[in-house]
A and B are shown apart, each in its own frame.
Chain A
Amino acid sequence: GNSVTQMEGPVTLSEEAFLTINCTYTATGYPSLFWYVQYPGEGLQLLLKATKADDKGSNKGFEATYRKETTSFHLEKGSVQVSDSAVYFCALSANFGNEKLTFGTGTRLTIIP
């Protein structure tokens, strides 16, 4: 079955540091890949997505590139802010129909001023 393996947390960085959160996946076919973010006390919000190999998703300074050869979708940001403190989830869905999302374990990110 499909699965997502995500970098264990928690991760603590200083403001303006470079961020990488690793995500690899196992899936049949060609899944769509997502990063969701969960701010304290809130639900899951879609941060970015990519639907085919070599696509780059980007939003709010975050980027992730769909790498089929390494089955990866690592999240990066060049300069993090305190407001980026949240839990980040990598997820995939089969790229047909309306399949469920399969999530990674989530990575809690804390940015200190």
Chain B
Amino acid sequence: EPEVTQTPSHQVTQMGQEVILRCVPISNHLYFYWYRQILGQKVEFLVSFYNNEISEKSEIFDDQFSVERPDGSNFTLKIRSTKLEDSAMYFCASSTGGAGKNIQYFGAGTRLSVL
């Protein structure tokens, strides 16, 4: 069964460093998403991406964040200068799209630890 793949599973970084989280969505999907879950809190939407551009972003997704689909298969989330409060589990999701068909499939997540 096709699945969304995320790498790495755990990323440890120093505050102020740049990190790139990688995702390979399901191959025929057109819509891509990033969510995050701070430990013990709810899953929060960060950004959605379609047709090589951001379609929606939350207030969390500030100038420190960016997304890219560099090669038609990968979908990346970059944090330019990490803060302690960026420590969270980051989930990538994808869907085929279409009104009423927004079933999003999630990867296993990348746990980001900022020290």
By a beta-carbon cutoff of 8 Å, the part of chain A in contact with chain B is 32, 36, 41-46, 49, 51, 89, 91, 93, 95-106
Contact = CB atoms under 8 A, between A and B. Distances in A.
A12 B109 CA distance: 26
State the 3 A-B residue pairs at the shortest beta-carbon distance, nearest first. A43-B108, A100-B45, A44-B106
Contacts of B75: none
Interface residues of B, number: 30
A10 to B, nearest CB: 11
Contacts, number: 64
Interface string B20-48: 00000000000101010000011111001
A103 B43 contact: yes
B56 interface: yes
Interface stretch (B11-19, B63-71, B76-84, B91-99): B91-99
11 contacts: A36-B106, A43-B108, A44-B93, A89-B42, A91-B43, A95-B100, A96-B99, A99-B56, A100-B45, A100-B58, A104-B42
